[in-house]
Chains A and B, each alone.
Chain A
Amino acid sequence: MPATTDPPALTAPELRELYRLMAATRALDTAAVAWQRQGAIPGFAPQLGQEAAQVGSGFVVDRRRDFAFPTYRELGVARAMGVDMVGYMATHKALWHGGLYDPAQSRFAPVQAVVAGSVLHAVGWAHGQTLAGHDGVALSYFGDGASSQGDVHEAMNFAGVLRAPVVFFVQNNGWAISVPTERQVAGGSVAARAAGYGIVSERVDGNDVVAVVEATRRAFAQARSGGGPVLIEAMTYRRGPHSTSDDPGRYRSLEDERRDAGTDPLERLAQQLLRTGAADQAFLEEARSAAAADAEQVRTKLAALGPRPGREMFEFVYQEPTGALKSQAAAWRVESEHV
């Protein structure tokens, strides 16, 4: 456990905000799967069941000074950080790989399709904060499958040696496509590995949003105050398919899912709000209908987004394009746009 003192408990307004964000994430995530089935988007990787881990961690990011490095499944983090969701969903509509939001402004790196591809970027960015004398913290997302990649080892070792202000946030959702954690993670715990790098770590119930927020806040406090990197392993469950082209029936049964998924994190927070009196039934209903309206708005705006002009293929390869690229662009225009 990080040595810093515990941050103050979450307030009732904060808990209600977490519920709104999780409900909005759930609604958009569920809607996106439907849009794929309807042919409105070609593919999607749902985060169903990971709302507490994603919203709870993204909620802690300070957009004035921190920076998050997502994978391809961080819809809930994006939502919690206030990323433009139409721009975010643009990646799934195949409009632009990295999405159409502004990553620098959003403090949310472009959507990353290489498993473990951005973990080292987070360490480099974090070390940059040290060099520049800033107090920003990098938040690096990766999965149980990604933990097998050499880059994750390199990243954790670099971070440990440099004492970089980075929080590694592992969502252990039980699966890497079809391969379960027990056939992925030797020793059974990614968090346990951190000790070998001199990195403090913590395993949290990733379906308990309060536990996730508290652990992430502790980790940020430590990293921000020069205490070095922290690793959080949030134990959660990928309730949906790996992606809309996956067929989980080939590697797990509905019975397995019922047994392993545990309580739905959204439902869990709802019960907690009611039990503690932080919210009433009317609030929950209002949050859910706001979430549905939100998703509907994203659908309308996304539908209105046409393909990017072909010239953009050439426009962002370099800041200073080569002559060869310019002439290829010119030839493309003549032959494809007939100008």
Chain B
Amino acid sequence: MSETTIAAPGRTGADPEPAAPRQLSMQQALNLALADILATDPAAVVLGEDVGTLGGVFRVTDGLQGRFGAARVFDTPLAESGILGMSVGLAMAGFHPLPEVQFDGFAYPAVNQIVCQIGRMNYRSRGTLPMPITLRVPSFGGIRAPEHHGESLEALFAHVPGLKVVSPSTPEEAYHLLRYAAARPDPVIFMEPKSRYWQKGEVSTGRRGADGDLGSRVARPGKHVTLIAWGAMVARCLQVAELAAEDGIEVEVLDLRWLKPLDAEGLAASVRRTRRAVVVHEAPLTSGLGAEVAALVTERCFDTLRAPVERVTGFDVPYPSGDLEDEYIPNIDRILFGIQRVLEYRRG
């Protein structure tokens, strides 16, 4: 640990002049967001395993320790409960911790601190000890990784009172949603789709305001069916929409972004137009977030729905080894079958 002390927490510096939009990978966009957070919020600290000297195993924190010092960007011992429990104490001391858990599956050792402490401290203390913690979790599958490196934890965390959950689908979303999450006074689980880290896209750096950062986003408009997805599945659904268009089917792709709170109004607005919905996620089917989405759509669109909400998801099995992951993650064919089922559905 460096001996350097940092400014007393609580003040917020001015944002740098917005630069012209540029092409960045999601990993670069997240890195830029963290740099801008650290530059503008003196209370922000980044901590986790290998986030300092190495810059993170996905290089999301690359260069941050060099730029902001080892007091504000620091390697912790290898213990996830320790990282999250320590973040609680840092938040109580007035800091805005940005902990990283190296891979989704290793959030499990920290579940006690996340669920029983981070999710409850504001409540337990009657609002006097808020938890402005943004936990970054490289998430979901698709990179042929070892066991426990391809998990989808959104339903687990969305179920916990006191937490919020968000997942970006593009570099632009990654930059802005991370900036937005880090400025919140409540804890946010930030699920980074690791299979999209290296995909490039245009990123604008001026802040876009809460209206741009909240709720869902229509990633592609269409009128026959709504595909609902988040994280890496958004790109796949866009591919599906492209293929379906060749057959004259206009698919709307709704990028949910926020998995808690779910944008019930955005969902309803889209499905009222298309009258059919297919929700796509990598996580196992049973008690997955697709069930919550289906319930919300059914509640709000029961009279207009032409077919029951379809779910195209992972299976109720442990996330498989790399060779089988293409069989597990919803692929283009399975999503097309899902669309076909809602289009061909007949009442009675």
Contact = CB atoms under 8 A, between A and B. Distances in A.
A155 to B, nearest CB: 7
A121 B5 contact: no
Nearest to A114: B116
A132 B262 contact: no
Interface residues of B, number: 51
Contact of B85 (A103, A154, A162, A324): A154
B62 to A, nearest CB: 22
Contact of B89 (A128, A317, A319): A128
Contacts of A97: 124
Contacts of A21: none
Given A124-B88, A320-B184, A151 B112 contact: yes
A123 B90 CA distance: 8
Contact of B129 (A110, A122, A130, A318): A110
B1 interface: yes
- Of the candidates B97, B117, B121, B124, the one having the most CB atoms from chain A within 10 angstroms of its own CB is B124
Given A127-B90, A151-B112, A323-B264, A316 B126 contact: yes
B103 interface: no
A318 B186 contact: yes
- Of the candidates A97, A105, A158, the one having the most CB atoms from chain B within 10 angstroms of its own CB is A158
A122 B89 contact: yes
Contacts of B90: 124-125, 127-128, 131
A125 B86 CA distance: 7
A157 B82 CA distance: 9
B79 A157 contact: yes
Interface in A145-161: 150-151, 154-155, 157-158, 161
Interface string A317-339: 11110111100000000000000
B307 to A, nearest CB: 25
A325 B262 CA distance: 11
B299 to A, nearest CB: 11
A227 interface: no
Nearest to A124: B89
B81 interface: yes
A9 B248 CA distance: 89
A214 B121 CA distance: 33
Nearest to B74: A162
A191 interface: no
Interface in A112-149: 114, 117-133, 138
Nearest to A313: B123
Tier of interface size on chain A: 35 or more
B122 interface: yes
A129 B90 CA distance: 9
Nearest to A156: B82
A324 B215 CA distance: 12
Contact of A125 (B89, B128, B262): B89
A338 B45 CA distance: 46
B124 A98 contact: yes
- Of the candidates A102, A118, A161, A316, the one having the most CB atoms from chain B within 10 angstroms of its own CB is A316
A96 B82 contact: no
A104 B1 CA distance: 27
A158 B78 CA distance: 9
A16 interface: no
A132 B11 CA distance: 13
A67 B125 CA distance: 15
Interface string A152-182: 0011011001110000000000000000000
B82 A154 contact: yes
Contact of B126 (A98, A129, A150): A98
B129 A103 contact: yes
A114 B117 contact: yes
A132 B9 contact: yes
- Of the candidates A96, A129, A131, A316, the one having the most CB atoms from chain B within 10 angstroms of its own CB is A131
A334 B87 CA distance: 38
A49 to B, nearest CB: 28
B66 to A, nearest CB: 18
B6 A132 contact: yes
Nearest to B97: A124
Contact of B86 (A67, A98, A109, A124): A124
B65 to A, nearest CB: 14
A315 interface: yes
Contacts of B184: 319-320
B161 interface: yes
A124 B92 contact: yes
B78 to A, nearest CB: 10
B130 A124 contact: no
B185 A319 contact: yes
B28 interface: no
A161 B125 contact: no
Top-9 shortest CB links A-B? A124-B89, A120-B85, A128-B93, A133-B5, A124-B86, A322-B261, A154-B82, A98-B124, A125-B89
25 contacts: A67-B92, A96-B124, A98-B126, A109-B129, A114-B117, A117-B113, A118-B117, A120-B85, A124-B86, A128-B92, A130-B5, A133-B8, A138-B89, A150-B81, A151-B113, A154-B77, A155-B82, A157-B82, A161-B76, A312-B126, A315-B127, A317-B162, A319-B122, A319-B186, A323-B265
